[in-house]
Structure 1
């Protein structure tokens, strides 16, 4: 049985404001801890009406403060948006507040649109420096060296575990070269999943942090008591992806009975291409889907997005997923 983890989108809905979304994320983490989930991550997004995780390190402090043992982390920090020193200080602070529980996943995408990039003061060429920024961040989190002038206080010496995130083969190559764990975003970009995993494993070089390759696969899983109910609940996420295709990043919407009335054939094709690896159904359907995905990918861990409108439905989904996983070995 491989570990299961959670990627929480910290969704703002038509009925729940940002404060409610943040408190729901914390409540989910508390429940997930009891259900045996390994970690819960939140991702950096900007200028998106329906996502409340822009200040990611603050969100993680809120989540970690309501839990005792589950790992918390960024999935991820979009490093080209920031100075490595600032991120080392932020996550070093988290590591001192919550020792042994903090992960730092790093991505090179902007997490927003081009106009918002300008507001972030990010250079269009910033992503080209991503590998060097990762190395700089790693050095700032390491024990100080003789003669070192720049120090991340707090941060240095914490050696917060770094992960490389990716939705293409670029991140796979970098994670392999640096000997870092790799998380692939097949919950929205499934096409390159298998090639990226092959590149990562075949080119992996052991490092101080990691001796063997470790691959975590992102996957959408929506569980309910029946396949039909799960499919209805999944329409919330399907509508969100259609809104993304339309360029209208709106609040999360409640599920509907007829998704065909919401999207055009072209929008359906685009949305379902991004959602192609979703697992939707009853516990038995979910159990089989997880087994097939792990067999196909050899994943060391799954990080699950269960993007449901009502908080109670989301809690139930994650509970059923954990139960389905546990029943796999009984």
Structure 2
């Protein structure tokens, strides 16, 4: 398979696990990905979620970078409307100074949180409206060509931190194409517009100083195990846990049994939730490789970023290793 492979680490805090243990697991995953030949590992910004440890995304990147040697690390992504471009430029300029040629910066415009958390972040519903201008302002700081007279980001790395536009709709595709930036589509949880967005991006792409030709990264879920049945069992447990977490944030507010989760997933609302993970490779290493080869071709992807969902960190690391070894 010629398509490069990367890793999206969701930094989960599993039941009975501490956040510190989650960070240690992230180091294990990154080391496994590094040894298996993955191109990069990304972490996503989420807030007010008890099951996700990557809220301070730049800090997590720095911690993992200090415990790995060569693999690229970055944000997949920073939700830029939650921050000032100058602060993000300072953070990632610092990371790129400490770890040269290893840091990526993926940018999104979603809140990464609910309405109450948005208010706690001092963000309002109009914050996303200036996303294109904020990306350009950030790019100026990182390249040493500030758009704000008299303002510079310190420290600034010798080479600009590469930017990526993240999205799950045509907006991100159009913006990435207009700015000549790589485009990462969140097909691992929002699959519906994948093909149309990639088509729009490729058709309207304009070369830039960073990128001469379009580059598409597509997200895909992966659960690889030694046997097909073992992988299916891990997938079932993982997606039950995901559904339980989703539902208990809402009006149910209680710990649902597996039978209740399965009953919900069989309902129309549950089928809509299950459809979010439409693109999932599950099975042995060979089965996962075959799925990823087909997915990359059909999606028109230049690179795949894989989210491994096994509940147990040992199983996640093994899934990363099996997939890397097969691909």
TM-score interval, normalised by the smaller of the two chains: over 0.9
- Looking at structure 1, the residues matched to 141 and 306 of structure 2 have their Cα atoms a distance apart, in angstroms, of 30
Deviation at 1:257, TM superposition (A): 10
Give per-residue Cα distances to partners, 1:11-40, cap 9 Å, x unaligned: 001121100001110121112111101000
After superposing the two structures, state which structure 1 stretch, 140-149 or 6-15, moved more: 140-149
Deviation at 1:270, TM superposition (A): 1.8
Relative to structure 1, the CA distance from residue 266 to residue 241 in structure 2 (aligned partners, 3 Å threshold; closer, same or farther) is farther
**Aligned counterpart in structure 2 of residue 291 of structure 1, from 293, 296, 300:** 293
**TM-score normalized with structure 1 length:** 0.92
Q: Determine if the alignment matches structure 1 residue 312 to structure 2 residue 296.
A: no
Give per-residue Cα distances to partners, 1:120-152, cap 9 Å, x unaligned: 001210101000000000001112469940010
After superposing the two structures, state which structure 1 stretch, 140-149 or 44-53, moved more: 140-149
Give per-residue Cα distances to partners, 1:160-207, cap 9 Å, x unaligned: 000000011110000000000000000000000000000000000000
**Aligned counterpart in structure 1 of residue 271 of structure 2, from 263, 269, 272:** 269
Q: Determine if the alignment matches structure 1 residue 100 to structure 2 residue 113.
A: no
Deviation at 1:64, TM superposition (A): 0.4
2:161 aligned counterpart, secondary structure: coil
- Looking at structure 2, the residues matched to 152 and 275 of structure 1 have their Cα atoms a distance apart, in angstroms, of 39
2:233 corresponds to which residue?
232
Give per-residue Cα distances to partners, 1:64-102, cap 9 Å, x unaligned: 000010000000000000000000000000000000000
Relative to structure 1, the CA distance from residue 247 to residue 209 in structure 2 (aligned partners, 3 Å threshold; closer, same or farther) is farther
Deviation at 1:266, TM superposition (A): 2.9
After superposing the two structures, state which structure 1 stretch, 42-51 or 225-234, moved more: 225-234
After superposing the two structures, state which structure 1 stretch, 22-31 or 92-101, moved more: 22-31
2:31 corresponds to which residue?
30
After superposing the two structures, state which structure 1 stretch, 29-38 or 102-111, moved more: 29-38
Mapped contact 2:32–2:320 kept (Cα < 8 A): no
- Looking at structure 2, the residues matched to 47 and 195 of structure 1 have their Cα atoms a distance apart, in angstroms, of 32
**TM-score normalized with structure 2 length:** 0.93
After superposing the two structures, state which structure 1 stretch, 185-194 or 294-303, moved more: 294-303
Q: Determine if the alignment matches structure 1 residue 280 to structure 2 residue 286.
A: no
1:190 aligned counterpart, secondary structure: coil
After superposing the two structures, state which structure 1 stretch, 7-16 or 279-288, moved more: 279-288
Give the alignment of 1:122-271 within 5 angstroms.
Answer: 122-144=123-145, 148-155=149-156, 158-243=159-244, 245-246=246-247, 248=249, 260=262, 263-271=265-273
Mapped contact 2:265–2:271 kept (Cα < 8 A): no
Mapped contact 1:42–1:75 kept (Cα < 8 A): yes
Count of residue pairs the alignment pairs up: 322
Relative to structure 1, the CA distance from residue 258 to residue 90 in structure 2 (aligned partners, 3 Å threshold; closer, same or farther) is same
After superposing the two structures, state which structure 1 stretch, 67-76 or 135-144, moved more: 135-144
- Looking at structure 2, the residues matched to 151 and 227 of structure 1 have their Cα atoms a distance apart, in angstroms, of 53
Mapped contact 1:232–1:257 kept (Cα < 8 A): no
After superposing the two structures, state which structure 1 stretch, 144-153 or 103-112, moved more: 144-153
Deviation at 1:154, TM superposition (A): 0.9
- Looking at structure 1, the residues matched to 318 and 110 of structure 2 have their Cα atoms a distance apart, in angstroms, of 32
- Looking at structure 2, the residues matched to 4 and 236 of structure 1 have their Cα atoms a distance apart, in angstroms, of 25
- Looking at structure 2, the residues matched to 157 and 148 of structure 1 have their Cα atoms a distance apart, in angstroms, of 21
- Looking at structure 1, the residues matched to 261 and 294 of structure 2 have their Cα atoms a distance apart, in angstroms, of 27
CA RMSD in angstroms comes to 2.2
Relative to structure 1, the CA distance from residue 260 to residue 200 in structure 2 (aligned partners, 3 Å threshold; closer, same or farther) is same
Deviation at 1:268, TM superposition (A): 3.2
2:21 corresponds to which residue?
20
Any gaps of 5 or more consecutive residues in structure 1? 326-330
Mapped contact 2:23–2:60 kept (Cα < 8 A): yes
Structure 1 segments (4+ residues) deviating >3 Å = 144-148, 256-259, 261-264
